[in-house]
Amino acid sequence: AESEVTDSHPRVFTKIFLTYRLKGANLTYEKVEKAVKLSQETYCGVTAMLQKAVPIEYEIIIEK
């Protein structure tokens, strides 16, 4: 994960960027993207709380 924060104190997040890096048999981008979206939009309480205050972006990398 990477983030941007304000320069002054209290230093709060202004942007969060997550990288989902996966390696495994039979992984397709579509299946992984669906799982990530479910996590981000439905199941992750931390994301639900943080995204009310700061934009959260992500990328998906499937390693062969």
Task: Read off the pLDDT of residues 9-48 as tens digits, 9 standing for 90 and up.
Answer: 999 999 999 999 999 999 999 999 999 999 999 999 999 9
Residue 27's region, left for phi above 0, alpha for psi from -120 to 50, else beta, is beta
Name the architecture of domain 2-63. Answer: 2-Layer Sandwich (3.30)
Instruction: Report whether 12 contacts 5 (CB < 8 A).
Output: yes
Extract the tokens encoding 1: 């994960």
Structure pTM?
0.85
H-assigned helices in 1-64: 29-38, 45-50
Residue 24 and residue 35: Cα distance in Å, rounded?
Answer: 14
pLDDT band at residue 60 using 50, 70 and 90 as cut-offs:
very high
Residue type present at position 10: P
Predicted local confidence at residue 44, as pLDDT = 96
Predicted local confidence at residue 64, as pLDDT = 86
